Amino acid sequence: MTNATRKPRISQSEMTKALRAARDSGHNVQRVEIEPGGRVVVIMGEPEQTAVSSIDVELSRILERRQ
């Protein structure tokens, strides 16, 4: 593979700088996406809440009854 066709990579120091800048600006980092071309996308905000499934609710009830 030649340098002309090699995909760009992000270094650990570059990633650290991006995350530190986000943190220092007072934002919460929700997630980071690194695209195949080397583009880094930092998604700001609170983590998304996952929906509680009915199976989880039923399992919690069963476990509470056992205590």
Work out how many domains the chain is built from and give that number.
Answer: 1
Domain annotation covers residue 30: yes
Domain annotation covers residue 23: yes
- The parent domain of residue 13 ranges over 1-46
CB burial of 12-49 (b: ≥16 within 10 Å; e: otherwise) equals eeeeeebeeebeeeeeeeeeeeeeeeeeeeeeeeeeee
Burial class from Cβ neighbours inside 10 Å (0-12, 13-18, 19+) for residue 11 reads: exposed
What is the CB neighbour count within 10 angstroms for residue 10?
14
Domain annotation covers residue 58: no
pLDDT computed for residue 43 by the predictor: 85
> Given a cut of 70, is residue 65 above it in pLDDT?
yes
Mean pLDDT for 25-37 is 83
pTM over 0.75: no
Domain annotation covers residue 53: no
pLDDT computed for residue 27 by the predictor: 82
